[in-house]
Amino acid sequence: MQLNQQLKQTHALADAVSGQRHELENRVQRLSNSSIDPDLLDERVRLMLNLARSDEVVIMLPRAAMPAIASTQDVSNPN
């Protein structure tokens, strides 16, 4: 019974990782030289340079509340 529970948890984790991988592959594809997505480029520039437009509302969250954003941020830039 315990092994069945571990198997279910492992399958759930594998599904989650597969979904994350698919999302990252999609983002990488959109950043490729042949077809740069302007919206994605704008998002990355704003994130890396910590910029926002004057007409935007910025909601600051603790880093722990932003696992998806934190994991996609450049590791060379700790901010």
In the block, which residue shows the tokens 């910590």? 50
Residue 69 lies in a domain: no
Residue 31 lies in a domain: yes
Taking only the tens of pLDDT, the chain with its 79 residues reads: 999 999 999 999 999 999 999 999 988 887 776 777 788 888 888 888 888 888 888 787 887 765 555 444 444 444 4
Residue 33 lies in a domain: yes
Residue 54 lies in a domain: no
Encoded tokens for 51: 């910029």
Note the pLDDT of residue 68.
54
Encoded tokens for 68: 């998806």
Note the pLDDT of residue 65.
63
Domain residue limits at 9: 1-47
At 36-47, the pLDDT tens digits run 778 888 888 888
Residue 53 lies in a domain: no
Helix (H) or strand (E) holding 72: helix 67-72
Residue 71 lies in a domain: no
Q: How many domains does the chain have?
A: 1
In the block, which residue shows the tokens 């983002």? 27
